[in-house]
Amino acid sequence: MRNEDSTVQATFNGIARRYDLMNRLMTLGSHKRWCQEVAQCATSTGGGKFLDLATGTGVIARAVRKQSPESAIIGADFSEAMLEMARHLEGNGDIDWQFADAHELPFDDGEFDAVTHGYLLRNVSGLDEVLAEQYRVLKPGGVVAALESSPPSGVLAPFIRLGMRVVIPTLGTVIGRDRDAYKYLVDSTLGFLNPEALRLRFERAGFTDIQVKPRFLGTNMIWSARKPVQR
Ligand SMILES: C[S@@+](CC[C@H](N)C(=O)[O-])C[C@H]1O[C@@H](n2cnc3c(N)ncnc32)[C@H](O)[C@@H]1O
């Protein structure tokens, strides 16, 4: 694993215990609803096998379970502390929680009907490798659906940036008890690709039917894309 990824892994291990509460506060309670929307994109494939990457405490995996009670679901993450939280949360019982680095997935080619993730891409050192791995493990015709943060744009952008730089590290200090970790979350969001650039990376990985829906003044995006049936 590269050094940048080990640092990210240590950051998420450190904040796992208070992560869900912080997420609810930072998104004013919207995170769960966005995760349900991501799950909806995945389950609308009608498939029976799903992978939720960067699963954290499993919010998206749990939404997939509710929408598709009979399916097989793997929730994967490279933070053992996050996986430990996921294993013990109510409603997470029959999901298969596994350690996996998104750069090198321990799954077969064409294994999944859909791959989901929330706030993964801005954290990885090798974006193209990570998208290539998702493409590989999807069945032809399968779907990737994701929630991702996005740098603000438009006339309100300077105000939103300022708000994020002040509010999130403050919450991180008072509630999350780790200012640096939440400063990292802000920096990685503000420094991430804009939606046009990320769309090109999905295209370059071979995906088609790429759709993106802005949420929360464009600071969050719900992405979906398809692996074509034939290339
Ligand atoms: C911001 S949390 C999001 C958790 C969850 N998806 C959600 O929306 O609540 C990001 C997660 O990505 C995981 N992660 C970051 N880089 C990863 C990688 N290379 N492989 C696997 N998981 C990774 C972290 O451990 C962390 O649990």
16 C-alpha to ligand 1 centroid (Å): 10
Query: How many domains are there within the chain?
Result: 1
- Looking at the CA of residue 130, tell me the nearest atom of ligand 1: 19
Q: Is residue 128 part of a domain?
A: yes
Ligand 1: which residue has its CA nearest to atom 7?
118
In the chain, % of residues over pLDDT 70: 100
59 Cβ below 6 A of ligand 1: yes
Given a cut of 80, whether residue 231 has pLDDT beyond it is: no
Among 120, 188, 189, 219, residue to substitute to test ligand 1 (most atoms within 8 Å of Cβ): 120
Q: Which DSSP string corresponds to 93-140?
A: TTSEEEE-BTTB--S-TT-EEEEEEES-GGG-S-HHHHHHHHHHHEEE
pLDDT, residue 176, reads 84
Residue 177 maps to a domain: no
8 lines ligand 1 (CB under 6 A): yes
* 175 part of a folded domain: no
Cβ neighbors of 79 (< 8 A, separation 6 or more) are 9, 12, 13, 16, 56
Q: Using CA atoms in the order 116, 2, 83, 77, what is the torsion angle rounded to 10 degrees? A: 10
Rounded CA separation 173/171 (Å)? 5
Residue 55 in contact with ligand 1 by CB distance below 6 A: yes
Q: Which two tokens stand for residue 94?
A: 């029959």
Q: How many residues does the structure list for the chain? A: 231
Would you say the CB of residue 164 lies under 6 angstroms from ligand 1? no
Pocket probe mutation, ligand 1, options 4, 12, 22, max atoms within 8 Å of Cβ = 12
The predicted structure's pLDDT at residue 230: 77
Residue 161 counted as domain residue: no
Domain range enclosing 84:
3-152+193-226
Q: Where are the beta strands (DSSP E) in the chain?
A: 49-53, 72-77, 96-99, 112-118, 138-149, 208-215, 220-226
Has residue 179 been placed in a domain? no
CATH code for the domain of 107: 3.40.50.150
Report yes or no on 7 lying in a domain: yes
pLDDT at position 84: 96
In tens, the pLDDT along 4-52 reads 999 999 999 999 999 999 999 999 999 999 999 999 999 999 989 999 9
How many C-alpha atoms does 125 have within 13 Å on its Cβ side? 12
- Atom of ligand 1 at shortest range from CA of 102: 20
Cα 217 to ligand 1 centroid, rounded to whole Å: 23
Q: Are 43 and 72 a contacting pair, CB within 8 Å?
A: no
Query: Coil, helix or strand for 210?
Result: strand
Q: In the chain, what percentage of residues exceed pLDDT 90?
A: 94
pLDDT (tens digit, 9 = 90+) per residue, 93-142? 899 999 999 999 999 999 999 999 999 999 999 999 999 999 999 999 99
pLDDT in tens, 143-188: 999 999 999 999 999 999 999 999 999 999 998 889 999 999 999 9
Q: Is residue 22 in a domain?
A: yes
In a domain, 79, yes or no: yes
Sheet holding 138-149, edge to edge: 96-99, 72-77, 49-53, 112-118, 138-149, 220-226, 208-215
User: Which residue has its alpha carbon closest to ligand 1 atom 25?
Assistant: 79
